[in-house]
């Protein structure tokens, strides 16, 4: 085959169009084979671009090289190079995120904050995230679309709606003579039955979008069956209660108040670890502290943690350092760099240097 090259081959084909070579990993290749839709997206003009398949998000980065890579058109006896590349685009799987810039927090249904309407579709379009990931992450962020405008529901509003759902469902179970097996029934209950119970019993009318978002976040759906996620529900009630409790609340009092705060006849296991990353326990007292208030810089975060408490059990400090342990090392191994880690009986104790 005789080989020709255009004079000065570049990736630029015309003034407006250019070519890039991009590595297609198995997921992207599979998406092409399935004729699924692919998109190039970015959170903003200054943010990194991503390529999304229906279910995965890939960050795009450029790898330069010094080789001469020619793209050749094979025409049988001759081939001619019409483009030359000194880099390739690599796709690496990343954690997706949702761009909620400009979206207001909705605390009360009767007082919708004034904002320029932002639709769910606009938020999706401007977020580096695939469609399936967006549908999974939206309820986790309390993001809800009400009459074409999106809001982030405040935890208190979410808690009100969840209480209504639980109360209505439990009342309906009691009415139907199932009062002895309420917690078991809440682990496998027909979704339509729950919705009908809520419509029948709810004293405050929550829009369908809010009800469905709360159900999506606090239940697991298998076919037409729902299972209430007790750990997440305890966490929501617990964190809200902790925020409104004084700093010297006794641990026993807190647990009792938490039980009293939950709908009657709803008795999930309450474990303190469900609130990980949201509390500090010291001398039998518990107080609210959010992991997100700490510095993202490892050394600063560790220093802040030891200002809050001089001695930590490994299990207690773990949720506060998870975010900075980017290489997913064992927590005690990760902490050795910043603190003293020693064993005391069955416990591992972490203290400052």
- Does 125 bind another protein (CB under 8 A)? Our answer is yes
- Does 32 bind another protein (CB under 8 A)? Our answer is yes
Rg (CA), the chain: 27
In terms of phi and psi (left: phi > 0; alpha: psi -120 to 50; beta: otherwise), the region of 82 is alpha
Q: What angle do CA 306, 310, 315 make, to 5 degrees?
A: 80
The residue behind tokens 């761009």 is: 99
- Residues whose CB is less than 8 angstroms from the CB of residue 306 and which lie 6 or more positions away in sequence, other chains included: 339, 351, 352
- Residues whose CB is less than 8 angstroms from the CB of residue 248 and which lie 6 or more positions away in sequence, other chains included: 285, 287
- Does 69 bind another protein (CB under 8 A)? Our answer is yes
Segment near another protein (CB under 8 A); pick from 8-16, 146-154, 182-190, 206-214: 8-16
Q: Which residue number, 75 or 176, has a Cβ lying nearer to another protein? A: 75
In the beta sheet, which residues pair with residue 351? 311, 340
Q: How many CB atoms lie within 10 A of CB 10?
A: 13
- Does 39 bind another protein (CB under 8 A)? Our answer is yes
Chosen residue from 19, 109, 120, 348 binding another protein by CB under 8 A: 19
Q: Which residue number, 25 or 352, has a Cβ lying nearer to another protein? A: 25
Chosen residue from 29, 180, 299, 336 binding another protein by CB under 8 A: 29
- Does 137 bind another protein (CB under 8 A)? Our answer is no
- Does 70 bind another protein (CB under 8 A)? Our answer is yes
Segment near another protein (CB under 8 A); pick from 27-35, 211-219, 230-238, 241-249: 27-35
Are 136 and 220 in contact, with CB atoms under 8 Å apart?
no
Binding site for another protein (CB under 8 A): 1-9, 13-14, 16-26, 28-29, 31-33, 35, 37-42, 44-45, 47, 49, 51-52, 66-76, 79-82, 84, 88-89, 125-126
């Amino acid at each position: 085959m005789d080989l020709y090259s255009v004079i000065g081959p570049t990736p630029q084909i015309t003034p407006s169009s250019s070519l890039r070579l991009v590595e297609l990993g198995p997921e992207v290749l599979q998406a092409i084979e399935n004729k699924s839709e692919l998109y190039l997206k970015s959170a903003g003009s200054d943010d990194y671009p991503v390529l999304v398949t229906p279910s995965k998000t890939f960050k795009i980065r450029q790898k330069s090289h010094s080789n001469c890579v020619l793209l050749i058109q094979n025409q049988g006896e001759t081939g001619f190079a019409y483009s030359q590349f000194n880099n390739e685009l690599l796709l690496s799987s990343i954690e997706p995120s949702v761009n909620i810039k400009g979206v207001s927090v909705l605390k009360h249904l009767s007082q919708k904050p004034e904002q320029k309407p932002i639709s769910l579709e606009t938020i999706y379009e401007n977020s580096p995230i695939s469609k399936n990931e967006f549908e999974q992450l939206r309820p986790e962020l309390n993001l809800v679309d009400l009459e074409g405008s999106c809001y982030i529901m405040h935890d208190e509003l979410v808690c009100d709606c969840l209480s209504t759902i639980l109360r209505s469902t439990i009342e309906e179970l009691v009415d139907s003579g199932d009062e002895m097996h309420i917690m078991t029934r809440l682990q496998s209950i027909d979704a339509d039955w729950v919705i009908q119970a809520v419509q029948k019993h709810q004293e405050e009318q929550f829009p369908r979008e809010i009800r469905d978002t709360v159900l999506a976040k606090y239940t697991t759906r298998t076919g037409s069956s729902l299972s209430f996620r007790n750990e997440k529900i305890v966490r929501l009630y617990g964190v809200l209660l902790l925020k409104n409790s004084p700093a010297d609340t006794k641990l026993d009092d807190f647990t009792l108040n938490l039980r009293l705060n939950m709908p009657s006849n709803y008795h999930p296991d309450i474990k303190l670890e469900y609130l990980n990353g949201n509390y500090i326990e010291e001398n039998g007292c518990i107080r609210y502290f959010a992991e997100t208030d700490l510095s993202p810089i490892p050394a600063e975060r560790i220093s802040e943690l030891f200002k809050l408490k001089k001695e930590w059990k490994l299990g207690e400090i773990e949720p506060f350092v998870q975010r900075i342990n980017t290489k997913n090392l064992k927590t005690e191994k990760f902490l050795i760099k910043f603190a003293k880690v020693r064993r005391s009986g069955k416990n591992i104790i972490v203290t400052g240097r």
